Amino acid sequence: MTGRQSLHTVRGVTGHREFVLRTVEERGVRFIRLWFIDVLGLLKSFSIPVSELETALEDGVGLDGSSLEGASRLREYDCIAHPDPRTFQVLPWKPDSLVARMFCDVCQPDGEPFGGDSRAMLRRVLEQAAGLGYTMQVGCEVEFFLFGALGANGASPVTLDDGAYFDLTPLDVGSDFRRRTIEYLERIGIPVKASHHEVAPSQHEIQLAHTDALSMADSVTTFRIAVKEAAHELGAYATFMPKPLAAYPGSGMHLHISLFQGERNVFHDADPGEPLSPTGRAFLAGVLAHAGELTAVTNQWINSYRRLATGFEAPEFVSWTRRGAAALVRVPSRRPGRVEGARFELRSPDPACNPYLVLALVLAAGLRGIERGYELQAESIDDEAAGAPRLPLDLREATDLFDASELARETLGDRLCDVFVANKRRELADERRTVTEFDRSRYLRLL
């Protein structure tokens, strides 16, 4: 089943199209932004006027597919972007001239999904899982920094407050900002579970309520732009950079993963002494077994590894625990009777990841664990990860593991993997040529 066909499984296309066309007319929407996702998860967009909307819904819009390939694009590919009317949403910001958005499925001219479209890849994995009767539910805690101003050309940014974990800082711009952001998110259909001030000054966390994986990836994408918009309106700047301040913890994006068959959470075990059911243990074993290969997508920037290097709740070893703070995976203790709450929390991803690729690979790794009956390693107690393998130390090691990963290639296809790897190799080559603050502070006087 391709992405285009699966649209027909939900109340037919006609209803969606009529809804979109009518809403545009009734609400006086002026422009439609067509959103698509590049291989690094960066949101790309182009606008069409309302007069072009009907044609766009019917036939799609021509697009150069290489725009999905990040910095490694070599030549142009003719592609067609098909707006997905299920994702039509009037944007809550810019109230003066109404703008709506739709995510696009990017296809080749023959109608097959374009191999560089990470959203299509996630959808393909979800359909495979659905074929086995499974749907993955994902909750998400996103951390980020809100700065007053960005320092010129690489200088340290200006923090807005000296707040700390769960501090209520009534006089800061931060609480105003969180309120505005949450209002935007709710108006755009991203329910927020909670928000609070994080450990570092100027750092915030917003928890997104669980939903299916595709909606969560779309939500994270939308979330990042909503947060940046809200910050911009207050004269501040929000960043999802994993580690902006050397002295403080970086920003993570913890994922809460559970797996359902119909209404039944298959991670739940009736025995309260068991953290997860046998299916859940095998799924988690799959994720842990492939954690090294996954790291290039969960932590896809050179800067991501500066967060992982410093502890501060950022994992360094492939381990799981019920209580500790340092393991890669935490299995939260359950409240009695809360069957639907059985889940595990993956703590390595950072908010600058491509959520489509991360969720596609986490699900694929977990399903492989179930399929092949992987055994879950022993729990790490008191953050002792004795004998546990370590996560890749840097982007180079992670990229090598990803490049050689049969799981990644089978799940995402060679084309997407190759393009991803080419982007990362280029980033590494750029860094290798860069003289940094570190070089100067350490060597300038000494040598």
Site residues (vs other proteins, CB under 8 A): 6, 9-12, 15-16, 18-20, 22-23, 26-27, 85-90, 92, 126-127, 129-130, 135, 137, 186-187, 189-192, 209-212, 215, 260, 262-263, 340
| Burial label, 404 (beta-carbon count in 10 A; 0-12, 13-18, 19+) | exposed
- 56's tokens: 């766009």
Least spacing, CB of residue 211 vs other proteins, in Å: 4
- 165's tokens: 């974990």
Cβ atoms of 165 and 198 within 8 Å: the answer is: yes
Nearer to other proteins, 335 or 432 (CB): 335
Among residues 150, 140, 145, the alpha carbon closest in space to that of 161 is found at 145
| Cβ-Cβ contacts under 8 Å for 300 (sequence gap 6 or more) | 40, 41, 352, 353, 354, 395, 424
Among residues 376, 416, 214, 207, the alpha carbon closest in space to that of 296 is found at 416
Nearer to other proteins, 123 or 290 (CB): 123
Least spacing, CB of residue 17 vs other proteins, in Å: 9
CA-CA distance, 423 to 402, in Å (whole number)?
Answer: 13
Nearer to other proteins, 108 or 135 (CB): 135
Cβ atoms of 340 and 264 within 8 Å: the answer is: no
Nearer to other proteins, 184 or 301 (CB): 184
Least spacing, CB of residue 283 vs other proteins, in Å: 16
Least spacing, CB of residue 56 vs other proteins, in Å: 16
> Any idea how long the chain is?
447
Least spacing, CB of residue 84 vs other proteins, in Å: 11
Least spacing, CB of residue 158 vs other proteins, in Å: 33
Nearer to other proteins, 90 or 199 (CB): 90
Least spacing, CB of residue 27 vs other proteins, in Å: 6
CA-CA distance, 258 to 272, in Å (whole number)?
Answer: 17
Nearer to other proteins, 159 or 211 (CB): 211
Nearer to other proteins, 131 or 170 (CB): 131
| Cβ-Cβ contacts under 8 Å for 80 (sequence gap 6 or more) | 59, 60, 61, 62, 63, 106, 107, 108, 109
Least spacing, CB of residue 22 vs other proteins, in Å: 5
DSSP assignments along 338-388, one per residue: -GGG--EEE----TTS-HHHHHHHHHHHHHHHHHTTPPPPPPPPTT--TTP
CA distances from 117 to 33, 40, 221, 413 (A): 18, 10, 14, 11
CA angle 360, 133, 404 (to 5 degrees): 30
CA-CA distance, 172 to 196, in Å (whole number)?
Answer: 13
Nearer to other proteins, 239 or 265 (CB): 265
CA-CA distance, 425 to 395, in Å (whole number)?
Answer: 9
Nearer to other proteins, 203 or 211 (CB): 211
Least spacing, CB of residue 142 vs other proteins, in Å: 17
End-to-end CA distance of the chain: 63
Nearer to other proteins, 22 or 442 (CB): 22
Least spacing, CB of residue 88 vs other proteins, in Å: 6
Nearer to other proteins, 260 or 312 (CB): 260
DSSP single-letter state for residue 46:
E
Helix (H/G/I), strand (E/B), else coil: 95: coil
Least spacing, CB of residue 215 vs other proteins, in Å: 7
